[in-house]
Amino acid sequence: AQTVTQSQPEMSVQEAETVTLSCTYDTSENNYYLFWYKQPPSRQMILVIRQEAYKQQNATENRFSVNFQKAAKSFSLKISDSQLGDTAMYFCAFITQGGSEKLVFGKGTKLTVNP
């Protein structure tokens, strides 16, 4: 069974600084997708970034980027120039290619951006 582990229950960062959230996963599959979702206090689940396992290039979306290490089964999220609006729970998630399996979530990391 696939599992996703986020080892940092809580983190904080100063506004404008950079922070990295960790995620590791376990799977025997070779083709899969990884995601980071953001859940602000409004509780909406917002897709931040996605990475296809077959792509070696790390995904980037504006201030958000990932460090995908397939051999190590590691998928960290880097937030640059942190903003107060980045304060949220961040969930790492995994799904096998084809989407026939469920989206497996980690337990989340609570990020607080301090002014």
Chain positions contacting another protein, by CB under 8 A: 33, 35, 37, 42-47, 50, 91, 95, 97-99, 102-103, 105-108
Nearer to another protein, 75 or 82 (CB): 75
- Separation CA 115–CA 112 (nearest Å): 10
**Is the CB of 16 or the CB of 45 nearer to another protein?**
45
CB of 81 to another protein, least distance (A): 26
Residues 6+ apart with CB under 8 A from 105: 4, 37, 91, 92, 93
Q: Which is nearer to another protein, 35 or 113 (CB)?
A: 35
SS3 category, 86: helix
Whether the CB-CB separation of 6 and 77 falls below 8 Å is answered with no
- Name the minimum Å distance from CB 68 to another protein: 15
